[in-house]
């Protein structure tokens, strides 16, 4: 029997250059989403969560026609219209809002502004995704997990997904999730990038420790569906993760999470 899969981290287009302000938008975006929908079907993905990096996407026509896709939106917290964009995203059918601490150059002076964003997300009954990994030449200037800790200490209680499960800081991410029942972790990019390292063992340990709080993600198209699945299966099998927990990781946890936003 084929493994049922929900992919909790995909993009419509490959990652833009940092200088592009993460914006993608053109007259063919509808076709790109149809292709993404088709790619999900071909690869046996029952549902894929798509992160869109452009606030103009709140004006998309009926997004329910993409039967294999759910949508979340990157928010520019520095935009004076950010709260309005969140409300429009909710009305348009978006399920969540995303923040990128590293790419958006978020430092502690920005935390209060992001708290206002987070509280609006909570009010709208959406979830918040925070990219929790880092890279490049200045990895310590923009601390995603410090931002996560700040929001939790300020009583943010809506669901929060730590994208990429903290990357090399997976242990810290697990500790946060272990003490915060509203925090979830997904595996996109981390499993493929860190394969062969101790990070993979730590991630597998986390799945055993918090079996209901981990989601499979690919980071497609930056990582191919097939590659992400293969790397995840190797991680699970080499660390003797029981079949029941594998099914939870690939499908059940994500299904139960997303159904709250239907």
Tens of pLDDT along the chain (262 residues)? 678 999 999 987 655 444 444 445 555 677 778 888 888 888 899 999 999 888 888 887 778 888 899 999 999 999 999 999 999 999 999 999 999 998 889 999 999 999 999 999 999 999 999 999 877 777 778 999 999 999 999 999 999 999 999 999 999 999 999 999 999 999 999 999 999 999 999 999 999 999 999 999 999 988 999 999 999 999 999 999 999 999 999 999 999 999 999 8
pLDDT of residue 239: 96
User: Could you tell me the residue ranges of all domains in the chain?
Assistant: 5-261
Burial of residue 4, with CB atoms counted within 10 A of its CB: 0-12 exposed, 13-18 middle, 19 or more buried: middle
Q: What confidence score (pLDDT) does residue 113 get? A: 96
pLDDT of amino acid 138: 75
Instruction: Note the pLDDT of residue 28.
Output: 65
CATH number of this structure's domain 5-261, picked from the four choices 3.30.460.80, 3.20.20.140, 3.20.20.30, 2.40.30.10? 3.20.20.140
pLDDT of residue 164: 97
């Amino acid at each position: 029997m084929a493994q049922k899969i929900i992919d909790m981290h995909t993009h419509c287009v490959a990652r833009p250059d940092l200088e592009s302000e993460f914006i993608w938008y053109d007259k063919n975006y509808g076709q790109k989403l149809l292709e993404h929908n088709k790619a999900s079907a071909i690869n046996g993905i029952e549902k894929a969560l798509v992160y869109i990096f452009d606030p103009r996407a709140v004006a998309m026509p009926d997004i329910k026609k993409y039967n294999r896709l759910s949508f979340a939106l990157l928010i520019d917290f520095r935009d004076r219209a950010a709260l309005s964009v969140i409300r429009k995203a909710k009305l348009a059918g978006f399920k969540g809002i995303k923040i990128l601490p590293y790419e958006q150059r978020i430092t502690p002076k920005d935390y209060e502004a992001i708290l206002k964003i987070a509280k609006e997300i909570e009010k709208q009954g959406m979830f918040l995704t925070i990219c929790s990994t880092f890279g490049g030449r200045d990895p310590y200037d923009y601390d995603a997990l410090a931002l996560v800790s700040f929001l939790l200490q300020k009583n943010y209680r809506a669901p929060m997904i730590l994208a990429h499960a903290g990357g090399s800081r997976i242990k810290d991410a697990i500790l946060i999730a272990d003490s915060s029942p509203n925090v979830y972790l997904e595996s996109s990019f981390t499993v493929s990038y860190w394969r062969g390292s101790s990070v993979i063992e730590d991630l597998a340990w986390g799945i055993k420790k918090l079996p209901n709080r981990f989601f499979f993600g690919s980071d497609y198209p930056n990582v191919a569906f097939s590659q992400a699945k293969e790397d995840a299966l190797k991680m699970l099998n080499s660390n003797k993760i029981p079949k029941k927990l594998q099914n939870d990781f690939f499908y059940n946890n994500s299904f139960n999470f997303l159904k709250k936003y239907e």
